Structure 1
Amino acid sequence: MTERKSVIRNIAEEPWQQYPGHFGSALSKALVAPETTGSQLMDYRISTYQPMAYVERHVHEVQEQVYHILDGEGLMEIGDETRVVRKNDVIFIAPGTWHSIQNSGLGDLTFIVVTTPVTDG
């Protein structure tokens, strides 16, 4: 585990990654995470999904999430509802809620995801 310390990070320092369950150029940078800063209570990522990219439908047992759409548009599935999401929309996902996001727009879909606590355990 990385030592816990206060840091300032530049977004260019973190490589883009495609995590398991993410498809079609659904890329993320783990800016604050156990492996990058030693954080234990939150995971903070910026993600960019190219058109047609998505994360598969999934659920977190204990984690809460916030998605903040920075640019583009797509479809957010939350529970039994699917909604268009656009720039400046903020989505709160409670534990136990099945969800997915996909880029159904014409350009890149860029958003922040904050997850707490870090693990679902």
Structure 2
Amino acid sequence: MADKPLVTSARERERDGWDNPERGTVSWYTLVSGDITPTSALSCGIAEFEPRKGILKPHRHDPAELYHILEGQGILTLEGQERTVTAGDTVFIPGNAEHGIRNEGDAVLRLFYVFPQDRFSDVVYRFPDAG
């Protein structure tokens, strides 16, 4: 499939996610990914974390990643260091850096994420407690 210009929205995409002790409780909408859009080189989406419940457990993956916080606030763990992130913050996560994020607040935490991968499904998440 050749690359084509694209305008898309979470309203057009299916919600996916995890709710398990090893990975966490998070949902997301994949917006751009070569398996669902006529695109390559990047994949991205919007992740949502419920108030006081949402968490993406610390993990690693080969590609770098970018987070841009859209709404709410969360506690980001990056290579063992914790930091509060709020709407408007952007985080660069180097490839293979251990990272995670959790929502301890009273509002939904929403973030936009980007990978330099053709397909989101090609990103292999490695969780230390997942066996």
Q: Per the shorter chain, which TM-score range?
A: 0.7 to 0.9
| SS of equivalent to 1:101 | strand
- Structure 1 position 98, deviation (Å): 0.3
- TM-aligned CA distance change 1:22 to 1:12, over 3 Å: farther
CA contact (8 A) 1:71 1:86 kept: yes
- Structure 1 position 34, deviation (Å): 2.2
CA contact (8 A) 1:22 1:53 kept: no
CA contact (8 A) 1:31 1:44 kept: yes
RMSD across aligned positions (CA) = 2.0
- Alignment pair present for 1:102 and 2:102: yes
For structure 1, the 5+ residue unaligned runs are: none
- Structure 1 position 6, deviation (Å): 2.8
For structure 2, the 5+ residue unaligned runs are: 125-131
- Structure 1 position 22, deviation (Å): 4.6
| SS of equivalent to 1:12 | helix
* Worse-superposed segment, 15-24 or 93-102: 15-24
Total equivalences in the alignment: 117
TM-score (norm 1): 0.85
Q: Distance in 2 between matches of 1:11 and 1:96?
A: 28
Q: Distance in 2 between matches of 1:10 and 1:84?
A: 27
TM-score (norm 2): 0.79
1:27 maps to 27
